[in-house]
Amino acid sequence: MEYVTTDYVCDAMLHIASNNNQNLDNSFSLLAPHSSDSVKLEKTVEVINNAGHPVQRIPYWDWVKRLHDPKNKDTPLIPLMPLLQEKVWGKLTRFETSRDTPHYDAPKAVAALADAPNIRYVPFTPVKKYNHAKRYLGDGSSGGGGGGGGAADRASQK
C-alpha cells in the first residue's frame, strides 16, 4: 500500500491517455517514481507520531476490535469492515493479503510524463499524513474516532 495524491493520479491518467495513441498497449504505475520516496503502511504510525499526533501500534485484530466499539460507531472505516475482517485466504483478510506484495516501479509513467513538467509526484510530508489521518480517523482527543486510539501493527503478524 502506498500513498499517492489523487491530483497526481488524475492529472497523470488524463495526460497519458490523451497522448495521441503513443501510450496504447502499455500499463503505467502511478506511484512514487523512486521507492525511497514511498512511506509504506508500517512507517505510517511513525510518520504520524513525528507529525505530533500520538498513535500507538497495536496488533491488527485488537485494532479491528476497537473499531467495533460503540464509541467508534461513526468512524469512516465502518464501510471497510469486510476488507478488514473477512478472511478470504486461510486465516488472512483481504487487507492482510496485501502485505509483502511486490513493489511496482514507475519508469514508464515517468517517461510518459516527461513532457508535462506541471504533473509531478508530491511525496506526503508528515504534516500531510497527519492532516489526512486526522480527517479520516478522527482527532484522537476523545480516544474514539475511527482509529480507536491505535493503528494496526501488521508488521508484528509476520
Cα 71 off chain centre by: 24
**Is-above-0.85 flag for pTM?**
no
Report the alpha-carbon distance of residue 59 to residue 55 in Å, rounded: 13
How many structural domains compose the chain? 1
Q: How confident is the model at residue 47 (pLDDT cuts 50, 70, 90)?
A: confident
Q: How confident is the model at residue 146 (pLDDT cuts 50, 70, 90)?
A: very low
Whole domain around residue 42: which residue ranges? 6-157
- Which residue type sits at 88? V
Residue 134 lies in a domain: yes
Mean pLDDT of the region 53-76: 87
Mean pLDDT of the region 38-64: 81
Mean pLDDT of the region 41-51: 77
Greater pLDDT, 4 or 149: 4
Centre a 10 Å sphere on the Cβ of residue 20 and count the other Cβ atoms it contains: 6
Report the alpha-carbon distance of residue 147 to residue 67 in Å, rounded: 7
Q: How confident is the model at residue 1 (pLDDT cuts 50, 70, 90)?
A: low
Helix intervals (H) in the chain: 6-17, 41-50, 60-67, 81-85, 94-97, 107-112, 126-137
